[in-house]
Structure 1
Amino acid sequence: MTSLLQRLSAERNRRFVGRGWELELFLDAIASRELPFHILHVFGPGGVGKTTLMQQFLRFCEQSKISTIYVEGRNIEAAPESFVSTLRSLMGLNESDSLLDVLAQKQERNVILIDTYEAITQLDEWLREVFLPHLSVNTLIVIAGRNPPSSGWCSDPGWQALMHTLPLRNLTPEESQIYLTTRDIPTTQHQAILNFTHGHPLALSLVAEVFAQGKEISFQAEPAPNVVKTLLERFIKEVPTPAHRMALEACAVIRLTTEAALDQILTVHQNSLAISAHYLGEIVDVYDLFEWLRGLSFIESGQLGLFPHDLAREVLIADLRWRNSEFYNELHHRARQYYTKRLGQTQGQEKHRVLLDYIFLHRDNSAIRSCFTWGEQSSLLTDSLRETDKTALLGMVAQYEGEESAKIADHWLKRQPQNVIVFRDLHSKPAGFAIMVALHTATVEDLSADPGALASWQYLQTHAPLRPSEGATIFRFWMARDTYQAVSPTQSLIFTNFVQYFQNTPGLAYTFLPCAQADSWTAMLNYFDLTRVSETDFTVGGKHYGVYGHDWRIVSPAAWKEILARKEVTTVEESGDNTPVGEPLLVLSQPEFVEAVQNALRNFSCPDALQNNPLIHSRSLHEALSSLVKEQVATKANVNENPLDTLGKRVNALQNLVKQAAEYLQSSPRDEKLYRAVYRTYLNPAPTQEQAAELLDLPFSTYRRHLKAGMTRVADILWQREIS
């Protein structure tokens, strides 16, 4: 090599990977007798590799001895005279030479490369209408910028025929690994780096540079601030106001950004954390913020809203968590409130989408991120079973689980067709399905026909018997037509429907979820508080299925949502705590519960005795205390005191719970006499029962009858609260 320039060129070429299709397109164009197009418009987010690709185009032109001009947009003024002057200089023309005449008269192939086009967008109309039409028919113009062609190009039928658009995306996982190998990155680090960079070329380059400098960096936790800062600066050159920055950060936190969502999440609340009202005052309204987001090169517009480029989202979130974790938590809190409200207002497909938005708030945790696809999934329709679906559904089961399982699926399709959901593609064909078997309504004959359902039912009988009005479900079959139980849009929608089922099924006490590859789902299902119930594992047709379960009497849907809310803003290492606030709950049968209520009444005035009452660990008490915690937080009263911290406070809560149930009897004239007997015997007791009867002016036998009936009614009120 005779010069440093050659050495630089050689190193750049050695480290260049991928883009095979793009290079082939360019090479075919410049080698053709007649150009297939005259404008090649390359666009993509900052750092995706546009300049590197343009340099490869330049290199190929030089190798083919094709006359080439390379214009770097950031180095010139966005004015026609500056553009013309730059080209004259690059071509070595004299002042007396006419640039347009020279370019128009070129008989041989000629290429003009214009890089960083977003820096000179003011020239867009002039180039399109004035300059480019005068060039030789042998000229290929390659434009590279962050944004797709403007409407002027797309609406002109002439330019439509002469232009080819080339969106540039991230490198594939295979190409990314090749690049990391050329940079001597340890293979043990490849997957973690790919998880962080998503194949974004600039990110890969920065990570490689960190390793080249001999620095330690972990991609299992938060990315190093210096890498994040560099990436962030490349994505966002400047943000107009603090309100714009908050809008951008909100867009990164939620799955799809609509104007309505942005308005809700950025609304200034009286108790919000460190958000000054002037940020979102009269200066910028939400419409302007949304339109600004829409115009950013790394923000994409889908059918249902805006969403950032994957790496842009990663960088924004990592930077926000590192810089202002309190506001990161606040954004999650507001988004969760918004989606909770929307879930109560929507039905059908819209409800599914909102639920996926809700689940997306957990995406920062790696246990969740890899187990869902987060796209819009607008092509999938959730529907009920049709008679014409059965052949396709049974064919899926036979393909993936065998003929014996297909016979079992056929049995449940006939016995519980109302519990089948089908996911349809654009042609209304089944793309996947799920069968949710209600165990409590199945007959003995039903259960004996299915080893999976039978194993779950036997577990319930032995370890968690159902109480009156309670039910249990096994999500017996679930699969996608093309990918079975692997991560896919259909699988993600199936899991979303499962969550909706948890929330909307009255009296649901227990759910079971069998998985063909049980171990691969452990992290995600444990995160969602489904634990492995190995006793219910089963084998059908030589295939083994591991089963996960959840007792909704121990952790109710409300408590479950609280657990997940705490996990939203934690890393995978921090999110192992699945226990609800307080100690584990007890699931009591109705006779056990009634006995515990009677014991609580008899020992109402004896706190020491109440400490051992099973109701101390009941769901009713837990939810009452959880409500008290929320009230304290809302009113900022005793925020440093948790009523669950001491047993004494739990005893006080139990006394209040029993007292409230007894006082409820006063709302009915028929039951008021029962309340008086309970009141004089336990709540404000007379020295003896005989004296209580005298105070009530009742015969002792009548008093005893009223007392017994009153205790029964109090127990019934509390029982209904416990199981509802």
Structure 2
Amino acid sequence: MSQRMSDLLAVQAHRNFVGREDEIAALLSVLDPEGPRVLHVHGIAGIGKTALLDHFTRAARNRGATVINLDCRNVEPTEPGLLQALGEAMGGVYPDVETLFERLESIGGTMVLAFDTYEVFRLLDTWLRQVFVPDLPENVRVLFFARQRPLAAWHATPGWGWLLKSVPVKPLSGCEAAKLLTSLGVQPEATSVIVHATHGHPLALKLAAAAAREEPFTHWLPQAPLQHALEELTHIFLKDVEDTTTRQILEGAAITRRTTVSLLGALFPELVPHDGYERLRKLPFVDTTSDGLIIHDAVREAIASSLHASDPSRHLTYRRAAWHQLRAEAESASSGDLWRYTADMLYLIENPVVREAFFPSGTPQFSVEVAQPGDAQALTAIIRAHEGEEAAAAMVQWWRRMPPAFSVVRGADGEALGLCCKLRSDQVEPRWLLDDPVTREWCRHLRDKPMAGGELALFCRRWLSLDEGDSPSEAQAAVWLDLKRTYMELRPALRRVYLTARNLAAYAPVAQRLGIEVLAGREVSLDGNLYPSAVLDFGPASVDGWLAKLAANELGVHTELDLLDPEARELLLDNARVALTPLEFGVMQHLQASQGKAVSRTELLRDVWGTRYEGGSNVVDAVVRTLRRKLGARADRIETVSGVGYRLRPS
């Protein structure tokens, strides 16, 4: 049977693997019945964690173990997303963890679940630590490969002890680095110079070996800290790539999270995309994954930032072309693939407020988890420290009625440093919402602007930090990250998020970028303090559509789904813009906000004209007629709903 190219590459990678005796021994210890059950393997970017995992996988399988490797970059960071990924890897469908665990136990022998690039799975870390890992069958071991060391909460969880082990991945020693360079074809006289300049960093060693091409090079090798050395080595390597087409393709691919044949076709319509894909795949810093090619982060960032500095116009052109292609593919993607396209579009956003919300780059300080009965005293103390008597009573009432709605922010020692109360519209008792003055206003807003059937609202009733209250803080940042996990869990049903904060003005810059709207006239006074409210409406396409639109706004692009420029108050028609009167804009804005849903003439009169006089429906019809004329070839986007009003039809 002939070997595939991927098989040959795996064999070559195994031959080039050097050193790591201590790390391999630690990994193999999980196969021992008395060994650790969970290993956190951590090290900086490019240090060789994935190569280490591949080497362990081969060794473990040779010892009879079953190993399932998951690249977390390709898995939706939600419980259903993980179950689906494991189901695909195991050739089955597992609707819940109990069914999955039964299957894992039935396989027999030692079963290893390995999570590579685990740092992007932060949204699911708490659930894995509290629910998934503790209940795994006896024969299952778990490996996490990440850039950061595990959260302190893993070590603080009672009962872990010897079951958990942290394994740091360090740079190669001088002898190991020299051995790797020899396997890559570097001449002996060049080895010592490269070893010194690259700090024993495997990716830097490979870049230096590829860039040298067996020529004198001592005059250009960087004498700099590792990150600068990686950037310089990347540029040196690119200069040595004489093929301008390959360099051009590499620059375009560097602005994407992953590279596919279809994306290359969109970025470079004048080239043959399959040829470009093969050119990329052969580069020493490009990994082949199940759904495309991924340029190593350290190299990708160096190339992308260099292009942004030298040719910002081309950098923007690439990002726009990628967005259009990803948006087109996402519209026909299955539910299982939708997250990949959402993550791809999210990667195109340079705004740190948005990217950090879903892909945090720093090392987490706090964990957020569901509050336990034993947290009652600590949570009550936090509430009473920052709330007056009326406001505190409302929050304590929610704790008594719905304890699972509360999350607690824990520090390194497990102490409660903050809290968050969030309620789902499909799970909370409606009369309880009316008992609370704040949530009562949210119910009134929902009554005035109802959601479509099947859509959900999330009520973020309050977040508080022990020291800062509801002002920006580390604890509040942890809460917001946990909220993003909830967003992902509830999509595509989640339509709106309601929230309140006495210090809402402190979040104004972030709120404007994310599309959060302050609800004027719905402030509530408790204990002499005002509690303003705000809402984030994701739109009919839920969280995925909202993220795609954030990317579109940053890139200055639109599709047929976005007919309206709200800032300019103009219609967006292909390459033309058409000005709107205030009434035309009001009607169009209302229809687009309720896209796909019938809007009555009475509702338009109330929200656009500010009147409840139902006899004025003729004026609504007149404005719709002028809108249709201005829409031209797209006039059929506004449909008449007999006996009701109008509906904006999705493209």
TM interval, shorter chain, is 0.3 to 0.5
Could you say which structure has the higher strand fraction?
A: 2
Q: Please report the TM-score for the alignment, with normalisation by the length of structure 1.
A: 0.42
RCO higher in structure (CA 8 A, sep ≥6): 2
